[in-house]
Amino acid sequence: MNSSQNASALNSTEMEQLVKGLESLLSGPNISFAVASTSINIISNLMGASSEALASSSNKIIGIVDTVGLKLNVDGESKDILTQSLALAVKPVNGVNFQKTTFTINNSSSIEMSPRSKRSSEAKAVTSQGSIDLPATLTENLTPQQQQQASRLQFNFYQNGALFQDKAVQANESRLISGVLSCSVANLSISNLSKNITITLRNTQTVQSNRTISCVFWDFKLNGGSGGWSNDSCTVISRTENETVCGCNHLTSFGVLMDISRGGSISKLQAMILTYITYIGCGISVIFLSLTLLTYLAFEKLRKDTPSKILIHLCLALLLLNLVFLLDSWLALYPKATGLCISTAFFLHYFLLASFTWMGLEAIHMYMALVKVFNSYVSRLMLKFGLVGWGLPLIVVVIVISIKRGDNYGLISYGKFEDGTSDEFCWLKDNTAFYVAVVGYFCVVFLLNFSMFIVVMIQLCRIKRQNPQTLQHRNILQDIRSVSGLTVLLGLSWGFAFFAWGKVNLPFMYLFAIFNSLQGFFIFIFHCAVKENVRRQWRMYLCCGKLRLTENSDWSNTATQKTKNLSAKRSPSFRSMRSDRSNQSSNSRTCLVNNGAGPDRTMGISSPLDDTTIRAQERPEPDVVLNEINHRHRRYQ
C-alpha cells in the first residue's frame, strides 16, 4: 500500500512487481471486504502513474479490478468501494428472473443501485458522473446453466482513462472526454441483446454540437492483444454539451471519444467490406465447385487418372468447408443451442483441415509424377491418399474435442456491424488449440506445398530446356496460366495470412479474403474452363447444333492419322532405347495393357507420346503442368 502512494515515481518494472503482488493477494477462491478495499485503493493510487509505467500492466490491472468484484464475499448484500479515482460496486441478482437494474455514480462519491424515480433521474442528469441502465432481458441469451451462474452484478467506474491507452486513437487525433464505466455479470459474456443497454456519461469538457463524438467500448483483442477502443454495436442516442447517452447491445467497458479531426473511423467499414467479400466469394465458390464436381463425376474419361481423382476430393472438401462457413453465422444466432454450435465448429475445423490435407497430397503427387519418376509406383495410391486426406484431419479434431470435454469449441465474438449482422461465430474458443490445431497444421502443409511448388517449377524449366520442340507453340500468357492454376491447386494464396500484420495488415487481409473465398471459382476456371479435354466433353454431351462435337469428328480422325505417322517416324536408335527400358519393369507394361491402352502403348514405359501429348502438338493445352503429370503418370506407373 505504501509503495503505491507515490505512483508517479514508479517505473514499469516496479509497476509490474506491484501488480504481481496484487495478483498473489487475490489468488484465493474468495476475498474479504477488507482485502478488496485495500486492493481497490492501491489500484486507485496506481492510476496516477505515468503512461509509460502503466503501458505494460494496464490490462492486468483492469483484470484485477474484475477479479475483486468476482471474488468479493457479498453475503447476500450489496457492497461498494469508493476511492478517489476508482469506484466498485457488487450486487447479488437472480439470473433466472433478472430485474431491471440501474447503477449511478454521483459527484458525492456515492453509488446508487436501485430503480430511480423520475425525481432522482432528473437530479442524476445534473449531479452524476455516469449511470448504466440494465434491461430485464439482460440474461435472455444465456443458457440455463449460465443463468444459474449469473448471481452477481459488478459495476466499475474509472475517473480517468489512465488504464485505457490506445495509440491508434491518439494517432487519429481523438481523445477520451469522459470517465470509463463498465459492468459485468459474473464474468459471463453478454451480447446480441434484443434491448440495448443505456449508458449515460458526463463529459469532462464542454463539447460543441459541431464536434463528432462516438460511443466506444474497450476491446481487449485489438492492437495485438494490448486492447483498444471500438465503436462496434454502440451508438449515440442523444447528446448535449455536458452529457452523452449511448446505447449498446453488449456488456463491457464504455467511454466517449471525440474526433477532433471530424473524420470517421474506417475500421468498421473495412470490416463490413471484408465480410461481404468473404460471403459473396464463398457463395460463388460453392456454385463453381459444384459444377467442377459434377463435370468430373459425370464424364468417366475425365476421372481416370490420379490427378483428377485428387482434384475431386479437394473440391469436395472445399465445397463442404464453404457450406459450413456460410451456415455458421446463421446457426450462431441460436446461442442456447450449445450442441449445435459445437457441432458446427467441429465440422468447420474438420473440413478446413481436410482441405489443407488434400492440397498437401496434390503437392506430393506432383513431386512423384514430375521429379521422382522411376520407382514411384505405389499400389492402391488413391486408397492410401483417401485414408490420409480424410482420416488425419479427423484424428486432429477428435483430439481437440476430447480435451476439456468439448470446451475448445463454441461461440466466440468478432464484432458487430451496422446492418445488424451478428458477431457471434461458432469456432475454436481456446487460443492454444487454435494455434496448434489450425495455424500449426496449416504451416506444415504450406511449407510442404511451397517447397514442392519450387521443385516442380525447377523440374518443368529443365524439361522445357531439354524438349523445346514440344513447347514451341506456348507463350508467356500460357505459362502464367499454368503457374496460376498450380498456385490455386496447392492453396498457396492462404499464405497471405502470414503477411497480415502491422501497416500492411489491411491490404493483405483484402488479398486473403478475395483469393481464398474465390478458390473454388479459380479451380473451375483453371481446371475446367480452360482445359481442352473438359471442353471437349462438354461439347460432346451438353451442346447442340454447331457447337456439338461428335466422337468421330474431323478432330478425332486427324488425331488417329497423327498417331500412325508418329509411330512410323520413330528411329531405330529410339526403338533400341524403348526395348531396353521396357525390360526394366514388366509390371509397368502389364499395367498399361490391362488398362486398355492402344497398340501404341503396349510397348511399356518406352512410349514417349500418349494421346495427351499428341493432342498437345496438334492443339496445345494451356496447362503444361497437368499435361506433364498425366503424361509421366501413364508412362511410369
Give the pLDDT confidence score for residue 144 in this predicted structure. 80
Mean pLDDT of 183-209: 81
**Residue 482 pLDDT > 80, yes or no?**
no
Residue 42 lies in a domain: no
- Asked whether residue 239 falls in the same domain as residue 281, the answer is no
- Asked whether residue 211 falls in the same domain as residue 284, the answer is no
Q: Which range has highest mean pLDDT (129-143, 399-413, 493-507, 511-525)?
A: 511-525
Cα–Cα dist 539/537, whole Å: 5
For residue 415, the SS3 value is coil
List the beta bridge partners of residue 131: 104, 200
Residue 277 lies in a domain: yes
Sign of the torsion formed by the C-alpha atoms of 130, 134, 135 and 140: positive
- Asked whether residue 189 falls in the same domain as residue 231, the answer is yes
Q: Which residue has the higher pLDDT, 202 or 600?
A: 202
Q: Which range has highest mean pLDDT (94-98, 400-404, 441-445, 576-580)?
A: 441-445
Least confident of 31-35, 41-45, 49-53, 471-475: 471-475
**Residue 362 pLDDT > 80, yes or no?**
yes
- Asked whether residue 330 falls in the same domain as residue 418, the answer is yes
- Asked whether residue 220 falls in the same domain as residue 109, the answer is yes
Strand ranges inside 47-196, DSSP E = 79-82, 86-92, 101-106, 111-112, 128-134, 152-158, 174-176, 180-185
- State the residue range of the domain holding 142: 76-264
- Asked whether residue 290 falls in the same domain as residue 405, the answer is yes
Longest Cα–Cα distance of the chain, Å, equals 110
Cα–Cα dist 37/87, whole Å: 10
**Residue 125 pLDDT > 50, yes or no?**
no
Mean pLDDT of 571-599: 36
Mean pLDDT of 296-311: 90
List the beta bridge partners of residue 320: none
Residue 615 lies in a domain: no
- Asked whether residue 137 falls in the same domain as residue 161, the answer is yes
Cα–Cα dist 618/627, whole Å: 14
At 414, give phi and psi (nearest 5°): -120, -5
Cα–Cα dist 93/112, whole Å: 15
Give the pLDDT confidence score for residue 576 in this predicted structure. 38
Give the pLDDT confidence score for residue 419 in this predicted structure. 40
Give the pLDDT confidence score for residue 335 in this predicted structure. 64
- Asked whether residue 496 falls in the same domain as residue 357, the answer is yes
- Asked whether residue 231 falls in the same domain as residue 346, the answer is no
| Number of folded domains that form the chain | 2
**Residue 250 pLDDT > 60, yes or no?**
no
Q: With bands split at pLDDT 50, 70 and 90, how would you rate the model's confidence at 2?
A: low
Grid coordinates standing for 313? 476430393
Q: Are 508 and 496 in contact (CB under 8 A)?
A: yes
Q: Are 285 and 318 in contact (CB under 8 A)?
A: yes
Q: What's the CATH number where 169 sits?
A: 2.60.220.50
Where a domain ends, among 538, 553, 587?
Answer: 538
- Asked whether residue 88 falls in the same domain as residue 127, the answer is yes
Grid coordinates standing for 308? 483428377
CA 85 to the chain's CA centroid: 39
Q: What's the CATH number where 336 sits?
A: 1.20.1070.10
For residue 426, the SS3 value is strand
For residue 102, the SS3 value is strand
Residue 576 lies in a domain: no
Instruction: Give the residue from 536, 364, 524, 356 showing the smallest Cα distance to 444.
Output: 356
Give the pLDDT confidence score for residue 405 in this predicted structure. 66
Cα–Cα dist 494/524, whole Å: 18
- Per-residue DSSP letters for 317-375? HHHHHHHHHHHHHHHTT-TT-HHHHHHHHHHHHHHHHHHHHHHHHHHHHHHHHHTS-TT
Grid coordinates standing for 284? 460463388
Give the pLDDT confidence score for residue 127 in this predicted structure. 53
Instruction: Give the residue from 426, 370, 414, 312 showing the smallest Cα distance to 635.
Output: 370
- Tens of pLDDT, residues 490-507: 988 888 877 766 566 778
Residue 172 lies in a domain: yes
Where a domain ends, among 197, 231, 264?
Answer: 264
Give the pLDDT confidence score for residue 386 in this predicted structure. 95
Where a domain ends, among 484, 505, 538?
Answer: 538
Residue 586 lies in a domain: no
Q: With bands split at pLDDT 50, 70 and 90, how would you rate the model's confidence at 556?
A: very low
- Asked whether residue 313 falls in the same domain as residue 438, the answer is yes
Least confident of 72-76, 386-390, 479-483, 621-625: 621-625
Residue 422 lies in a domain: yes
For residue 164, the SS3 value is coil
Residue 566 lies in a domain: no
Grid cell 457492497 — which residue?
79
Cα–Cα dist 10/552, whole Å: 90
List the beta bridge partners of residue 175: 258
- Asked whether residue 195 falls in the same domain as residue 90, the answer is yes
For residue 188, the SS3 value is strand
- Per-residue DSSP letters for 584-620? T-HHHHHHHHHTT--GGGTTGGG----HHHHHHHHS-
- Tens of pLDDT, residues 24-38: 888 888 899 899 999
Chain mean pLDDT for the chain: 75
